[in-house]
Amino acid sequence: MASTVFSKLALFLTLLSLTPSTVNASWRMVANTIVTGRVDPLINPNAVSGHVHDYAGGSNFGVTYDHDDMRSSSCSSVEIPEDKSGYWSPAVYYHVRDGSYKLLKSSYMVYYLHRGSNIKAFPKGFRMIAGSAVKNTVDPNDPASAAINYHCLGGGDGETLQFPEQYCPQGVRVQILFPSCWNGNDITSANFKDHVRYPVDGKEGNTCPDGFGTRLITLFLEHIIYMDGIDWYPGSLTLANGDSCGWSSHADFAMGWDPAILQQAVDQCTDSQANLDACDLLRNMKNSGSAAQCQPVKYLPLEDVGFYGTIPQLLGNNQQWGCGATKATTGSSNTPPLVAPYSVLANGWSEHGCIDEGDPYTNAMNGDKLVDNSMSPRTCVAYCDGKGFSMAAVASGDTCFCANTLEHNASMNLVDFGKCLMPCAGSHYEWCGGGRNLRLYTKTGEASVDSSYNYPPAGARLSQVYTSNGSSVPVVAPPTTGSTGTTTSTGSNDGNTSSDGNTVYGPSNPPKCSRRALSRKRRSILKRHARKHGFH
């Protein structure tokens, strides 16, 4: 992602196959999914939403939306850090033949397209939704229906209005075009739709309907769903709301740009190939490394959405439906607490960083060892603390080492954290060392820590928080909705310690971030998709 996403040759070949309206593009941005959970601040503010969404955008995403709060995000998972907007769409699951559900990984490509004339940026606080979560009909002649479709990557040509009826080797691209004709007055509406319309001459047309004459920059999302490791069969894909046809796909947008800067981009970034690097304004802002490491900081639901394996049913008690069937009324559903997404270490422990293990074919730490398919930094630290050791380290994704000293020429010298980016077996978004590198934790005062070292995020993107006794509970009471509808809390999630003295990473005490620790696999996949499949 640090280099240009699309090669010139791929762009040229792509443009040969595009219609004139598609060629009239502006810019596109890679965006990483950083939250997968039942969160929807538009439809379900201050509450757990009805189904799981994949989210990309500013780090302050949570159960409420406020433009100024989004603007204060410490980072964005979009490669232009100035864009702290929120983009989210239903997660997609694979319905396993045994009846369980497997969460499919995802990422986004975000397009800002010039359609029409006298184009305006989204105003401050602007929000809108494309599509409907209960839609059970489709009309290809209706711009709103045609605006949401699917493309099978590596396994077929053309677009379909429902899930492709075949296996897609390189994934399914869910394509969502938002309305671009605005009434010029309201930054949102009760259903997040009535203040905007699609053009009357087609979803990407030039003529807006009466009363909606202000033309906004056209927002287009590609929600890329990866189908790795599944035994596909007809009807095996389902949206998180239970729709196995795909007609009810939808997406939400919550404005997070500085409107003045966005208007500059609208005016200046008009490359016909949608090449981000062709615009000086945005090229100078681009920071793919920061986007790859961005982590959420707001309260999120405490539940497993499928990171650890299959789940027995779709969260929110969503039953399967679709292709003309009416969505069943959701029955009783659990309401998990909302918790801060940062890990809590046992009292007195802190992270040292990534170190080399020393001599080959030896272990640097030989006090005790634990291999566990639920491994996380919290698990390891709690284990070693309970055994009376002053050092704990995770490695190889599932292994914990305990000791009081390092052996075999291992040292406390810190190395690039990129060597410790093996995902934890029991915590999908946390990192548990490498094959010959340890992610080391020590009791406070037990080791000299290099204060100049840039630590990566120590918390998980997964909606989970840990305590020293091994339980998974909120550090403080979750937010509740008071009689005025405002968010209140019986505690503060900005404190540096929990009630029992544990270290808590939060907005006022965030782990520092190493910009070098990039996700090379994700970057390679996105580049390959972009080169091979072009726009849409």
Q: How many CB atoms lie within 10 A of CB 461?
A: 24
Phi, psi (rounded to 5 degrees) for 266: -60, -40
Tell me the C-alpha distance between 391 and 349, whole Å.
Answer: 9
The span from the CA of 37 to the CA of 90, in Å, is 9
Q: Judge whether 173 and 223 are in contact, CB under 8 Å.
A: yes
Q: What is the DSSP letter of 457?
A: P
Q: Quick check: helix, strand or coil at residue 444? A: coil
Joined tokens for residue 88: 């989210």
DSSP at 278: G
Q: How far apart are CA 364 and CA 241, in angstroms?
A: 48
Question: Residue 29: is it exposed, middle or buried by C-beta count within 10 angstroms (0-12/13-18/19+)?
Answer: buried
Mean pLDDT per 10-residue segment, the chain (536 residues): 30 33 73 94 94 96 96 96 98 96 96 94 98 90 91 85 92 96 97 96 92 97 94 95 95 98 96 92 93 85 82 92 78 69 75 92 94 87 94 95 95 90 73 92 58 31 27 26 27 28 30 32 38 38
Specify burial of residue 235 (Cβ count, 10 A radius: 0-12, 13-18, 19+).
middle
The CA distance from 450 to 17, in Å, is 54
**Residue 417 to residue 434: CA distance in whole angstroms:** 10
**Helix or strand or coil: residue 419?**
helix
What integer pLDDT is reported at residue 140 of this predicted model? 84
* C-beta neighbour count of 467 within 10 angstroms: 22
pLDDT tens-digit readout, 107-129 = 999 999 999 999 999 999 999 99
Q: Which residues contact 227 (CB under 8 A, 6 or more apart)?
A: 94, 104, 167, 168, 169, 171, 172
Q: Which residues face 8 on adjacent strands? A: none
Instruction: For residue 30, give both structure tokens.
Output: 């890679």
Give a three-class secondary structure readout of 334-392. Answer: CCCCEECCCCEECCCEEEEEEEECCCCCCCCCCCEEEECCCCCHHHHHHHHHHCCCCEE
CB 102 within 8 A of CB 94: yes
How many other C-beta atoms lie within 10 A of the C-beta of residue 368? Answer: 15
Distance of CA 106 to the CA centre of its chain: 8
| Distance separating alpha carbons of residues 316 and 333, to the nearest angstrom | 5
CA dihedral 417, 56, 17, 5 (to 10 degrees): -20
DSSP structural state of residue 285: T
Alpha-carbon 212 to chain mean position: 32
Give dist(CA 230, CA 324) in Å, integer: 26
What torsion, rounded to 10 degrees, do the Cα atoms 261, 264, 266, 270 define?
-130
Max Cα distance, the chain (Å)? 77
What pLDDT is attached to residue 304?
A: 81
pLDDT at residue 427 in the model: 66
CA angle 49, 470, 491 (to 5 degrees): 55
Q: Give SS3 for 301.
A: strand
- Residue 101, exposed/middle/buried by CB under 10 A (0-12, 13-18, 19+)? buried
pTM: 0.69
Residues facing 338 on adjacent strands: 301
Q: Which two tokens stand for residue 178?
A: 């938002």
Residues 338/474, Cβ–Cβ less than 8 Å: yes
What are the residues whose beta carbons fall under 8 Å from the beta carbon of 255, sequence distance 6 or more? Answer: 67, 70, 85, 122, 123, 124, 125, 126, 127, 187
Phi, psi dihedral angles at 93 (to 5 degrees): -115, 155
What's residue 449's pLDDT?
32
Q: Nearest to residue 110, comparing CAs of 291, 294, 296?
A: 291
- CA 195 to chain centroid, in Å, comes to 27
| C-alpha closest to that of 68 among 253, 255, 290 | 255
Q: Tokens 């491994």 belong to which residue?
A: 375
CA of 49: how far to CAs of 44, 62, 81, 318, in Å? 5, 11, 27, 12
Token pair, residue 238, equals 């389902």
Query: 221 in helix, strand or coil?
Result: strand
Other Cβ atoms within 10 Å of 365 Cβ, number: 26
- What are the E-state strand segments in 14-76? 27-32, 35-37, 53-57
Query: b/e map of 249-267 (b: 16 or more CB within 10 Å)?
Result: bbbbbbbbbbbebbbebbe
CA torsion sign for 378, 102, 84, 67 is: negative
